[in-house]
Amino acid sequence: MEQPNLSYIQSMSGGNEEFEQKLIGIIKKEFPLEKQEYRGNISAGNYKLAASNVHKLKHKISILGLERSYEVAVNYEDSLIEHKTDGQEDFEAILQIMTDFLKTL
């Protein structure tokens, strides 16, 4: 599976390390909360709300350079809208990879 990276953040920053650190800080603050909210909605069977959570999380997936994972998230979001959980295991794996990566920053 692909690994997260900071390439997109670095390209957006134009070399401004302060900007990079602010953006990383925002992601590190928001990601665990969004992940927790998603898991709560999945556990409760609130698939439409979980789809909304996935929609928010996919932006962070993209920012961390996970292009193939973004497509997995898009498909999973569509699945949740249809009250199905196809793709949940792959999406959960992506969340874990992101969690592990953010711990290293």
Q: What six digits make up the tokens of 54?
A: 């996935």
pLDDT of 77:
98
> What pLDDT is stored for residue 94 in this prediction?
98
Structure tokens at 43: 């556990």
Below-50 pLDDT ranges, the chain: none
Q: For residue range 8-36, what is the model confidence (pLDDT) as tens digits?
A: 999 999 999 999 999 999 999 999 999 99
Beta strands in the chain (DSSP E): none
Both tokens assigned to 8 = 């997109």
Of 73, 99, 8, 83, nearest to 42 by C-alpha is 83
Tell me what pLDDT residue 1 has.
75
